């Protein structure tokens, strides 16, 4: 599917007046396929830039906190780990739910530094109350947010593992092939000397054959200016919907809507989309939040 290295894409730079004129359109409808836990934020950012957001979720996520409890109870269990790696907002939410059933902190106030590692704006969920569930001594907890908000960036920020154990909270993918990003993340941790323990923190499910219906209708009427993908699984979910619902492949989408701009949130999503045969037109060099891809899209459409 993809490697965990940060692939190089032509990041959007300043547009010439001619280019800006050709990409400025009266059609500002932008479809996005993100699951519900990210939808409101991305929709709001698109609206603030003058776009008309069209939410076409291809995935739904369900937390599975019960699958985490064996690693938290009895409380000494977590002491065998040195870090928890969160690769999504859903993983943090699921663990937060799981810890609510424990009256006492999960870690002793004394011991080696324990790392909570998260990507970009996901780390905003790691608040003081969340940290307190782990340890009554906040100085024992280190919140690690890599400067490059990718799984590879997280591995690099964690540094050498030296045989230490890291709890990797990842999804179970239902109805679609699991993106290579998860297996590659675990492999990179091993290569850095970590002992990764992979645990399902939530389910990512395909939303079904009708999930691409509105996007198809907009394409057929020539009313879709762009589509934004925020993960490889979203792309796969849309492609499966198109195949099963109307017998389309991505080439059909391009022929039906030749001016469609495909935007990806970060290089990992872009590489995953390309591996599935979806050519990406635009990816921002700032991807710790959705602001980067929305700002790049606004620049492309001359809406800055």
Kindly report, residue by residue over 171-223, the tens digit of the pLDDT.
Answer: 999 999 999 999 999 999 999 999 999 999 999 999 999 999 999 999 999 99
Lowest mean pLDDT, pick from 22-26, 240-244, 278-282, 291-295: 22-26
Model's pTM, two decimal places? 0.85
Write out the E strands in 175-260. 195-206, 226-229
Confidence of residue 11 (pLDDT cuts 50, 70, 90): very low
Query: What does the alpha-carbon distance between residue 193 and residue 191 come to, in Å, rounded to a whole number?
Result: 5
Helix (H) / strand (E) element for 83: namely strand 83-86
Query: What does the alpha-carbon distance between residue 240 and residue 238 come to, in Å, rounded to a whole number?
Result: 5
Q: Which letter does DSSP use for residue 103 in this model?
A: S
Confidence of residue 142 (pLDDT cuts 50, 70, 90): very high
Let me know: does 105 contact 131? Beta carbons within 8 Å: no
User: How high is the pLDDT of residue 77?
Assistant: 87
User: How high is the pLDDT of residue 13?
Assistant: 35
Q: In the predicted model, is pLDDT for residue 15 greater than 60?
A: no
Query: What does the alpha-carbon distance between residue 261 and residue 293 come to, in Å, rounded to a whole number?
Result: 12
> Mean pLDDT over all residues of the chain?
90
In what side-by-side order are the strands of the sheet with 29-32? Answer: 52-55, 29-32, 226-229, 261-264, 282-283
Q: In the predicted model, is pLDDT for residue 3 greater than 80?
A: no
User: How high is the pLDDT of residue 250?
Assistant: 97
β-sheet bridge partners, residue 144: 117
User: How high is the pLDDT of residue 284?
Assistant: 84
User: How high is the pLDDT of residue 303?
Assistant: 85
Residue with tokens 């999503």: 269
3-state secondary structure of 141: strand
Q: In the predicted model, is pLDDT for residue 8 greater than 70?
A: no
Strands 59-63 and 165-174, sheet pairing: unpaired
Q: In the predicted model, is pLDDT for residue 26 greater than 70?
A: no
Instruction: Between 103 and 19, name the one with better pLDDT.
Output: 103
Helix (H) / strand (E) element for 162: namely none
Instruction: Between 58 and 6, name the one with better pLDDT.
Output: 58
Angle (nearest 5°) at CA 63 between 115 and 47: 90
Over range 124-141, report the average pLDDT.
95
Query: What does the alpha-carbon distance between residue 283 and residue 216 come to, in Å, rounded to a whole number?
Result: 23
Query: What does the alpha-carbon distance between residue 189 and residue 4 come to, in Å, rounded to a whole number?
Result: 11
Q: In the predicted model, is pLDDT for residue 24 greater than 70?
A: no
Q: In the predicted model, is pLDDT for residue 94 greater than 80?
A: yes
Q: In the predicted model, is pLDDT for residue 230 greater than 90?
A: yes
- Cα–Cα nearest to 140, from 151, 130, 131, 149: 131
Let me know: does 68 contact 198? Beta carbons within 8 Å: no
Would you tell me how many other CB atoms lie within 10 Å of the CB of residue 221? 12
In what side-by-side order are the strands of the sheet with 141-144? Answer: 59-63, 195-206, 165-174, 83-86, 114-117, 141-144
User: How high is the pLDDT of residue 93?
Assistant: 96
């Amino acid at each position: 599917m993809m490697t965990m290295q940060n692939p190089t894409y032509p990041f959007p730079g300043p547009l010439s007046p001619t280019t800006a004129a050709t990409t400025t359109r009266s059609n500002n409808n932008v479809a996005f396929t993100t699951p519900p836990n990210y939808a409101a934020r991305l929709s709001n950012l698109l609206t603030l830039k003058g776009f008309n957001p069209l939410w076409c979720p291809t995935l739904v996520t369900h937390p599975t906190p019960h699958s985490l409890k064996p690693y938290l109870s009895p409380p000494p269990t977590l002491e065998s780990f040195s870090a928890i790696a969160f690769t999504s907002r859903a993983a943090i939410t699921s663990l937060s739910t799981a810890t609510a059933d424990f009256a006492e902190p999960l870690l002793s106030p004394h011991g080696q530094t324990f790392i909570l590692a998260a990507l970009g704006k996901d780390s905003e969920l790691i608040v003081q109350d969340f940290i307190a569930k782990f340890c009554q001594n906040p100085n024992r907890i280190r919140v690690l947010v890599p400067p490059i908000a990718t799984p590879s960036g997280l591995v690099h920020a964690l540094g050498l593992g030296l045989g230490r154990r890291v709890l990797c909270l990842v999804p179970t993918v239902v109805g679609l092939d699991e993106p290579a990003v998860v297996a590659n993340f675990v492999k990179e941790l091993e290569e850095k000397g970590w002992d990764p323990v992979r645990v399902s923190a939530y389910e990512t499910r395909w939303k079904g054959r009708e999930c691409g219906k509105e996007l198809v209708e907009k394409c057929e009427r020539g009313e879709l200016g762009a589509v934004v993908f925020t993960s490889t699984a979203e792309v796969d979910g849309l492609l499966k919907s198109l195949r099963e619902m109307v017998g389309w492949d991505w080439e059909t989408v391009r022929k039906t809507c030749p001016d469609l701009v495909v935007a990806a949130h970060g290089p990992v999503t872009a590489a995953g989309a390309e591996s599935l045969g979806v050519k990406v037109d635009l990816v921002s060099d700032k991807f710790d939040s959705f602001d980067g891809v929305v700002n790049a899209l606004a620049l492309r459409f001359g809406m800055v």
